[in-house]
Amino acid sequence: MHMNKILLIIQREYITRVLKKSFWISSLLAPVLITAIYAIPIWLAMKDKEVKRVEILDLSGLWKKSDLVDKEVEFVFTSGKEQELKMSFASKGYDAFVSIPEDVLANPKGVHIYSAKNIGMSLKESVEKLIQNKVRQELLLKAGISSQIYESTQVDIDSKTITVSNDGKETRSSSGGAMILAGIMGMVLYVTLLLYGSQVMNGVIEEKSSRIIEVIISSVKPYQLLLGKIIGVGLVGLTQFLLWIVLTIGLTQITSKFYGEKVKNNITQIKKIDSGKQSTLSSKSEEESPMSEVTKVLESTNIPMIIAAFLFYFFVGYMLYSSLFAAIGSAVESATEAQQFTFIVMIPIILSFLMAQYTMQDPDSNIAFWASMIPFTSPINMMVRLPYGVPVWELILSMTLLVLGFLGCSWVSARIYRVGILMYGKKVTWKELGKWLFYKG
């Protein structure tokens, strides 16, 4: 009988929230925004940029036309007096005027870039890079070192990280990818714990202020209402998660197929234009993009275990914090009045997110271990540690402590909830809440 009443409350909470327009707007909008974050940089990289025109006054006589080749900037040599040229370049249709001093090798900081308005960083960097490369070549020649010898010494160490299992199986991994994946999961849990926990509190405050709660309490016990409300809103959160995952994967797959061939063609064109060194760098950057780094981690990670752990830590962690938010909602009569209590509950959530930054840097440290064990910080910090690899016993211990933490918090919350839900017109203090814990009945 008690279970039937809890199920009815869960059904009510779930259906009323899922049928709201705001639920579907946020469920559909989030995957679109995530896909946009993924797709827009690709689109911008592929988009042909407007070619800038720059006038060059080379007083040193070191530069040739072949030294100033850039696919996004057109350089035009000129002659005359610098004072007159810097006043007339804009009227001739140039975006900038560059003056290279006669003693540029001894005074490389003597280069001046004039423009009618502040120029973009990309144009400034293009000009500086081309001038810098020539200055370096000339200085090397003066020192008796050929540019080929110098280039051969500019070696980049690019090590491959490989995880080795107990049976000797090797799998390529990525520390950077693990950090990206850990950061994403930590941030998602941080936001959702705050979002859905506060939803429970606001729902309780709304029902209490409208006196609907008095009618509901006449047919169900306070702890049944508390449990039903928490589980109902939690299931709404899980539903939204599943929608986000399915829609995001679908949209990103469509985007990848749409841009895939275009990206390959774009890279091929860049390789034809760029020098051998630049070609190597472009292909290297293609291999080491953030998404490819995450892919390496996914290949060496037990994905079903990660998903199962994520759902567990989200749901149990949410229930732990929601029980506390519900207790606060029952003790106050407005959201403004609740602020003095919600801050105390939010401290461990914020602290766990801050600790997660350290956990990502050193996932096997003592701080990371305890952060992933303490119930108030474990939902975020254990999920941050998982991509790096966690012993099974640590995962089981962390889950067990989180469940025990939820049971303890729900007991405290139920004691406050049963009294506070029918308390009106009284300013609640911490001392008053302490008394409610030990009321009999």
Residues 198, 94, single domain; the answer is no
Average pLDDT for residues 220-247, to the nearest whole number?
A: 82
- Residue found under tokens 């009294």: 419
Looking at the structure, do residues 126 and 205 belong to the same domain, yes or no? Answer: no
**The total number of structural domains that make up the chain:** 2
With respect to residue 42, please indicate whether it lies within any of the assigned structural domains.
Answer: no
**Which range of residues forms the domain containing residue 206?**
173-437
Note whether 296 and 385 are within 8 A (CB).
no
Is residue 216 in a domain?
yes
229/309 same-domain check: yes
**What's the whole-number mean pLDDT along residues 264-289?**
46
Is residue 368 within 8 Å of 383, Cβ to Cβ? no
Residue 137 maps to a domain: yes
Among 46-55, 285-294, 323-332, the minimum mean pLDDT is found in 285-294
47 with 264: CB under 8 angstroms?
no
For residues 385 and 276, membership in a common domain is answered with yes
Looking at the structure, do residues 103 and 199 belong to the same domain, yes or no? no
Both 341 and 234 in a single domain? yes
**Start-end of H helices in 143-221:** 147-153, 175-209, 212-217
Residues 399, 253 share a domain: yes
Q: Region 312-339: what's the mean pLDDT?
A: 83
Please indicate, yes or no, if residue 43 is contained in any of the structural domains.
Answer: no
CA-to-CA dists, residue 413 to 192, 212, 223, 319, angstroms = 20, 20, 9, 11
pLDDT for 24 equals 87
The CA-to-CA distance between both ends of the chain, in Å, stands at 21
| pLDDT at residue number 405 | 93
Q: pLDDT at residue 313 above 60? A: yes
Give me 266's structure tokens: 């774009």
Domain assignment present for residue 20? The answer is no
Cα(293)–Cα(299) distance, integer angstroms:
10
> Band of the pLDDT at 265, cuts 50, 70, 90?
low
| Tens-place pLDDT, residues 342-353 | 888 888 888 888
CATH number of 93's domain: 3.40.190.10
In terms of Cβ atoms closer than 10 Å to its own Cβ (0-12, 13-18, 19+), residue 343 is exposed
332 shares a domain with 200:
yes
The last residue of one of the domains, among 95, 113, 147, is 147
Tell me how far apart the alpha carbons of residues 89 and 81 are, in angstroms, rounded to a whole number: 12
- pLDDT, residue 273, reads 45
Distance CA 369, CA 352 (A): 12
Residues 401 and 326 in one domain: yes
Contact 410, 225 (CB under 8 A): no
Does some domain include residue 241? Answer: yes
197 in any annotated domain: yes
Residue 374 clears pLDDT 90, i.e. is over it: yes
Say yes or no to pLDDT of 50 above 90. no
> Do 375 and 265 belong to one domain?
yes
pLDDT in tens, 190-214: 777 777 878 888 877 777 776 676 6
Looking at residues 234-243, what average pLDDT do you find? 84
Summarize pLDDT for 178-187 with one digit per residue, the tens: 566 666 777 7
Please state which of the ranges 45-49, 117-121, 265-269 shows the lowest mean pLDDT: 265-269
> Could you tell me the pLDDT band of residue 159, with boundaries at 50, 70 and 90?
low
pTM of the model: 0.63
Q: Is residue 61 part of a domain?
A: yes
Q: How far apart are CA 432 and CA 129, in angstroms?
A: 68
pLDDT band for 287, please (50, 70, 90 cuts): very low
Query: How far, in Å, are 17, 204, 304, 319, 425 from residue 208 at the CA level?
Result: 18, 6, 41, 21, 12
CB burial of 116-135 (b: ≥16 within 10 Å; e: otherwise) equals eeebeeebeebbeebbeebb
Domain co-membership, 262 together with 411: yes
Same structural domain, 118 and 180 = no
How far apart are the C-alpha atoms of 434 and 441, rounded to whole Å?
16
Q: What is the DSSP secondary structure assignment for residue 155, as one 8-state letter?
A: P
